[in-house]
Chain A
Amino acid sequence: MCRQTKEKCAHNAGAVYCGLIYAFLFLPIVVIVINSFNATNTKPYLTWKGFTLDWYGKLFQNSALLDSFQNTIFIAVTSTLLSTFIGTLAAVGMYKYKFRGKNIIDGLLYIPVVIPEIVLGISLLTLFTNTNIPRGLLSLVLAHTTFCIPFVIFNIRARLDGYDKSIEEAFMDLGANRLTTFLRITLPVLAPGIGGGALLAFTLSIDDVIVSYFTNGLTMTFPLKVMESIKSGVSPDVNALSTLILLATMVIVILTQSNLLKNLRKVLKRQS
């Protein structure tokens, strides 16, 4: 066979393979979206009874579900802000200064990343019960911040590895004080790392099941609500909410992507 045809065949086979993997990744999501339009009214809501948009209306009357979703967003936003703040300071501090015990901090940082989440969950549960920290929104925020911090730090660190210290020194040389230097030089350079870290923290938080499961007390988050409802059959309004969340994230992705492109074009224009 001619080499060009052979290569084309391999290329097509590769495309088919990738298509199958994406089908595997998206198949359950398609099922969810379809089921959110299911007109069934009987548990466990699995048989297809025709198309309806009712569930999207009913969703907004289900206050327990909406509350849990609100909690999830609140926890995610708060713990993202907290972990990004603490993590940024720590990442820069650990990069700039040499001190004893750095290895210990490093080791501690890896623990929440590598140990199974369930271990972190039960250890935090014992902490909260023994210190009388009330289990609810507060404990959830504290717990989520704990597992987010290392990811934020690692993300920024990856960025710092390619960072030229001499820019900062040159700026200090020109008479800027530390705070100005940090705000004007260090932060902008690290912005992508910080942004990436924050995004990761947010994602981890909204999707968390295991740590929340042990530290929630009576407060419900969206994933926990789903977990509860799975026992009796997930009602289509949960599917409807998931579909809406998916839509929102897709829109955000597309917006940020196109925004990125715009910025890139601007930069290129300025250079030419």
Chain B
Amino acid sequence: MVQIRNVNKSYGSNHVVKNLSLDVYEGEFLTILGSSGCGKTTTLRMVAGFEQPTSGEILVQGENIANKEPYERDVNTVFQSYALFPHMTVFDSVAYGLKMKKVPKKEIHTRVLEMLELVQLGGFEKRMPAQLSGGQKQRVAIARALINHPKVLLLDEPLGALDLKLRKQMQLELKRLQQKLNITFLYVTHDQEEALSMSDRIAVMHDGALEQVGKPKEIYEAPQSKFVATFIGETNLFEGVVRGLRDHLVSIAVESGTILGSGEGFAENEMIAVSVRPERMQYSLTPVEGFTIEGIVKEQVYVGSVLKSIIVLQNGYEVKLERLAGEMLPINGTVYPYWEPKDARLIHPRDQEFFSAVENVKMA
């Protein structure tokens, strides 16, 4: 549906989008996830036509849109600030796109009312934006963007200004709308939870470059880079050197001892990073075979169904551990963290990460 090919964008010497290539498939909900300033909004704006790529091309349904003005593109945007027209009623705002397309008045009327019904704003058509709540403004912005039946709907952190409860509700609603209308959604957010719960696929961006693209489950369970591992959800990250390989088992020497993981394609003495999700982390009161790390239980927080603990290793690293509430850990007692080798995710560090890993091991 949308193909972004080797797109670069620089403002002077500031390289904000670096050689980005991304395919968005028809009818899918794709989220670009990243922290602020990572270039995700710029990417979206290039698809919309508000910015032009410094190099590379963007295709919509196979057609290069570089020379198309925003008003010629079959994509519509929901803006972060809503950008509602303050001097127009809800009806006029939503009708705006149709009016620009010179659709007959009668048709405009029925289509706008239908659309307002769809976003659950029936009866609000005479209101002015100033008389609407944040959530209602958001719905108007969505209705306004959807009325032209765009091939792709671009959403730039549309829920950022809403409070938590409303945000959750709108997430579900957006998903419902997307499935009902079967329109391709390209969604930008820095909220990983939002991304995980709504998207068909997630593209993680970091520092202008694409880190990983995949289904939410893949992104969460099989992060391909340290950044993805730490940015999506909580994780315990170890860096070390491969010391032993047996079948799928990999033994890794880290600063505070030896740990186990499982995987293929690793070589002895290779630098790698190991990511273990807190809910996969286990502990024992006696040493476990293959693991030589030990620590002291520093803190425990009981949050309803889950017990969150922090274990401080000898080198000061804090291991996060999360399990269903049950027996408490001995506070200030010595424990031995471990995990099933298959629960650890082994990551080949990239060049820039390599040196920091070397530093860490040297210190150990």
Using a CB–CB distance below 8 Å, which chain A residues touch chain B? 2-4
Q: Mark B51-71, 1 if CB is under 8 A from A, else 0.
A: 010000000000000111100
The closest CB in chain B to the CB of A4 belongs to: B52
Chain B residues with Cβ under 8 A from A4's Cβ? Answer: 52
Chain A residues with Cβ under 8 A from B68's Cβ? Answer: 3
CA distance A2 to B52 in the complex (A): 12
CA distance A87 to B271 in the complex (A): 72
Q: Whole-angstrom distance from the CB of B77 to the nearest CB of chain A?
A: 18
Q: Whole-angstrom distance from the CB of B186 to the nearest CB of chain A?
A: 21
Q: Which 5 A-B pairs have the closest CB atoms?
A: A3-B67, A2-B67, A4-B52, A3-B66, A3-B52
The closest CB in chain A to the CB of B49 belongs to: A3
The closest CB in chain B to the CB of A5 belongs to: B67
Chain B residues with Cβ under 8 A from A3's Cβ? Answer: 52, 66-69
> What is the interface of chain B mostly: helix, strand, loop, or mixed?
loop
Report 8 cross-chain contacts, Cβ distance below 8 Å, ordered by A residue: A2-B66, A2-B67, A3-B52, A3-B66, A3-B67, A3-B68, A3-B69, A4-B52
CA distance A3 to B66 in the complex (A): 7
CA distance A4 to B66 in the complex (A): 9
The closest CB in chain B to the CB of A2 belongs to: B67
CA distance A165 to B352 in the complex (A): 51
Which B9-27 residues sit within 8 Å CB-CB of chain A?
Answer: none
Chain A residues with Cβ under 8 A from B52's Cβ? Answer: 3-4
> What is the interface of chain A mostly: helix, strand, loop, or mixed?
helix
User: How many chain-B residues does the 8 Å CB contact rule pick out?
Assistant: 5
CA distance A4 to B52 in the complex (A): 8
Contacts A3-B52, A3-B69, A4-B52 aside, 5 further interface pairs with beta carbons under 8 A come to: A2-B66, A2-B67, A3-B66, A3-B67, A3-B68
The closest CB in chain B to the CB of A1 belongs to: B67
The closest CB in chain A to the CB of B65 belongs to: A3
CA distance A3 to B64 in the complex (A): 12
The closest CB in chain A to the CB of B68 belongs to: A3
CA distance A3 to B67 in the complex (A): 5
Q: Whole-angstrom distance from the CB of A114 to the nearest CB of chain B?
A: 26
Q: Whole-angstrom distance from the CB of B142 to the nearest CB of chain A?
A: 28
Which B113-150 residues sit within 8 Å CB-CB of chain A?
Answer: none
Chain B residues with Cβ under 8 A from A2's Cβ? Answer: 66-67
CA distance A2 to B69 in the complex (A): 11
Chain A residues with Cβ under 8 A from B69's Cβ? Answer: 3
Which B243-266 residues sit within 8 Å CB-CB of chain A?
Answer: none
The closest CB in chain A to the CB of B52 belongs to: A4
Q: Whole-angstrom distance from the CB of B185 to the nearest CB of chain A?
A: 26
CA distance A58 to B68 in the complex (A): 65
Chain A residues with Cβ under 8 A from B67's Cβ? Answer: 2-3
CA distance A57 to B52 in the complex (A): 59
Q: Whole-angstrom distance from the CB of A61 to the nearest CB of chain B?
A: 55
The closest CB in chain A to the CB of B69 belongs to: A3
Chain A residues with Cβ under 8 A from B66's Cβ? Answer: 2-3
Q: Whole-angstrom distance from the CB of B56 to the nearest CB of chain A?
A: 14
Q: Mark B304-333, 1 if CB is under 8 A from A, else 0.
A: 000000000000000000000000000000
CA distance A4 to B68 in the complex (A): 10
Q: Whole-angstrom distance from the CB of B165 to the nearest CB of chain A?
A: 28
CA distance A52 to B83 in the complex (A): 60
Q: Whole-angstrom distance from the CB of A159 to the nearest CB of chain B?
A: 24
CA distance A3 to B68 in the complex (A): 7
CA distance A225 to B66 in the complex (A): 62
CA distance A2 to B68 in the complex (A): 9
Q: Mark B85-124, 1 if CB is under 8 A from A, else 0.
A: 0000000000000000000000000000000000000000
CA distance A65 to B52 in the complex (A): 59
Q: Whole-angstrom distance from the CB of B47 to the nearest CB of chain A?
A: 14
CA distance A230 to B52 in the complex (A): 56
Q: Whole-angstrom distance from the CB of A126 to the nearest CB of chain B?
A: 46
CA distance A3 to B70 in the complex (A): 11
CA distance A4 to B67 in the complex (A): 8
Q: Whole-angstrom distance from the CB of A241 to the nearest CB of chain B?
A: 45
Most A CB within 10 A of own CB, among B66, B67, B69? B67
Q: Whole-angstrom distance from the CB of B70 to the nearest CB of chain A?
A: 10
CA distance A163 to B15 in the complex (A): 39
Q: Whole-angstrom distance from the CB of B226 to the nearest CB of chain A?
A: 28
Q: Whole-angstrom distance from the CB of B358 to the nearest CB of chain A?
A: 32
The closest CB in chain A to the CB of B67 belongs to: A3
Q: Whole-angstrom distance from the CB of B249 to the nearest CB of chain A?
A: 49
